[in-house]
Amino acid sequence: MRPSILNKNIIPIIIIGMMFFVFGFATWINAMLIPYFKIACELTNLQSYLVTFAFYISYLAVSVPASFLLKKIGFKNGMMVGFWVMAVGAFVFIPAAETRTYGLFLCGLFLIGIGLAVLQTAANPYVTILGPKERAAQRISIMGICNKTAGIIAPLLLAAAILRPGDHDLFKSIQHMDADQKSLVLDALIRRVIVPYACVGSLLAILGFIVRFSPLPEIENFSDENNQPDNDGNNSIFKYPHLILGGCAIFLHVGAQILAVDSIIGYAQSMGVSIIEARVFPSYTLLATICGYLIGITLIPWCISQINALRLCTLLGIILSLLVLTAKGNTVLFGHHVDISIWFLVMLGFANSMIWAGIWPLALDKLGSHLKLGASVLIMGLSGNAIVPLFYGYLADRYDLRTGYWVLLPCYIFLVFYAFYGYRIKKWTFS
């Protein structure tokens, strides 16, 4: 990156990096909410994964409208609105906890997801165009480090706020309590989320004001000489197969990624690990992702191209998924006595690290004036976080938690297809 370009874009990149930290905090905290709600609201596996469904289905509903909102009121005003909607969603947790109403919690998560969809629709195009196209994966990786660092911290902070040293024995004894005593205990458990989410809501409301009056420029002020459209008269984003297939790839990638993080506490519990001990496993997975980001930043593009990094990661995803399903054997690592398969699930964090960064520049290539709408299509792909875990929850209830991970294989098979061939398809051909 030339010094003049770096100096021009460094402040916007720092601001966007801070936003990705917030995205990560709001997103990965669900890894702790899922097992906690499962206990406090007495849910099945499938019901507990409605947490991810409610949170991420909003991306499917509002990503395209979000692009029109940003076009109408501007990116900075739009991001302020996004933060405020997230704040409202966090405050909804207060009456939801007071009444122990799972449906109301899901409404709060849906509102948080709506605000996050607006923010992501605004932030991701910035990262893609703020600098040379061939280094886009590097910039996206830096944003990913901000996101995943927050993800390491978020579930640990929430766990510290809502879990107590004697909870393991309490959770085991709940099933043997009479109805009235159980209701009192569960009511007390669920009310522990009130203070953390009241604090989160207040912070999000303040961040809305901060980003509105920040020096972040409007995206129209940037020109992208590397992203000019082909002069073929395309007026519809559906005429760009590499974009539509890229949206499908994002859908499957994020679904597989969220599954590796949000299901791992429950998987560890199935091995006899207490929830207090298991709370660290999402952080291990996200730490593996950060390691992948750091390697990507170091090696791309001088040692390996971002397309080859994408290909390697998708192939590794297939290998690790098969090992999660088939590998067996007791291990002791970092003080945890668990089956070896859980460490392959942790390593999926590494495999997932460069997939998002690799897909975005390929999918947005040569969209020209369709760039914003194209970004919205990719953000809609985040609804994969809502759908894929439900399939896992269904299989986990019907069979067992390990069998549920079969949903990972078709996800990575399609990602391999896109990395090797799908991104090159520039025109639909039907016989």
Is 230 part of a structural domain of the chain? no
Q: How far apart are CA 89 and CA 205, in angstroms?
A: 11
Model-level pTM greater than 0.85?
no
If one counts every other C-beta atom within 10 angstroms of the C-beta of residue 416, the result is 18
Is 429 part of a structural domain of the chain? no
Q: How far is CA 9 from CA 15, 16, 29, 32, 217, in A?
A: 10, 11, 30, 36, 10
425: left (phi over 0), alpha (psi -120 to 50) or beta: beta
Q: How far is CA 144 from CA 110, 150, 182, 251, 357, in A?
A: 23, 10, 42, 17, 8
Model confidence at 129: pLDDT above 70: no
Q: How far apart are CA 405 and CA 403, in angstroms?
A: 5
Residue 430: the pLDDT is 58
Q: How far apart are CA 239 and CA 257, in angstroms?
A: 28
Mean pLDDT of 406-420: 97
- 63: confidence class by pLDDT, cuts 50, 70, 90: confident
| Placement of tokens 């003080």 in the chain | 335
Is 289 part of a structural domain of the chain? yes
pLDDT digits (tens, 9 = 90+) for 139-185: 777 887 888 888 888 888 888 888 888 888 888 888 888 888 999 99
- Structural domain of residue 158, as residue ranges? 3-216+235-424
pLDDT digits (tens, 9 = 90+) for 292-304: 988 888 887 788 8
pLDDT digits (tens, 9 = 90+) for 266-302: 999 999 998 889 989 999 999 999 899 888 888 877 8
Report the CATH number that the domain containing residue 337 is assigned in CATH: 1.20.1250.20
* Burial bucket for residue 396 (CB in 10 Å: 0-12, 13-18, 19+): buried
Is 55 part of a structural domain of the chain? yes
Phi and psi of 285, rounded to 5°? -65, -45
pLDDT digits (tens, 9 = 90+) for 74-90: 878 888 899 999 999 99
H/E stretch holding 228 reads none
Question: β-pairing, 336-339 with 330-333?
Answer: antiparallel
Residue 6: the pLDDT is 46
The number of angstroms, rounded, from the C-alpha of 166 to the middle of its chain's C-alpha atoms is: 31
Residue 324: the pLDDT is 97
Residue 31: the pLDDT is 85
Is 331 part of a structural domain of the chain? yes
Q: How far is CA 29 from CA 76, 101, 117, 371, 425, in A?
A: 26, 19, 16, 31, 37
Is 402 part of a structural domain of the chain? yes
Angle between helices 50-73 and 241-262 (to 10 degrees): 140
Q: Give the CB-side neighbour count of residue 119, counting CA atoms within 13 A.
A: 31
DSSP state of 232: S
- 224: confidence class by pLDDT, cuts 50, 70, 90: very low
Considering its fold, how many domains does the chain have in total?
1
- 369: confidence class by pLDDT, cuts 50, 70, 90: confident
Residue 226: the pLDDT is 46
Model confidence at 223: pLDDT above 80: no
The 10 Å CB-count burial string (b at 16+, else e) for 105-115 is: bbbbbbbbbbb
Model confidence at 360: pLDDT above 60: yes
Adjacent-strand bridge partners of 338: 331
Mean pLDDT of 336-354: 95
Q: Which two tokens stand for residue 68?
A: 């029109």
Mean pLDDT of 216-229: 53
Is 224 part of a structural domain of the chain? no
Is 227 part of a structural domain of the chain? no
Q: Which two tokens stand for residue 237?
A: 């984003």
The 10 Å CB-count burial string (b at 16+, else e) for 159-197 is: beebbeeebeeebeeeeeeeeeeeeebbeebbebbbebb
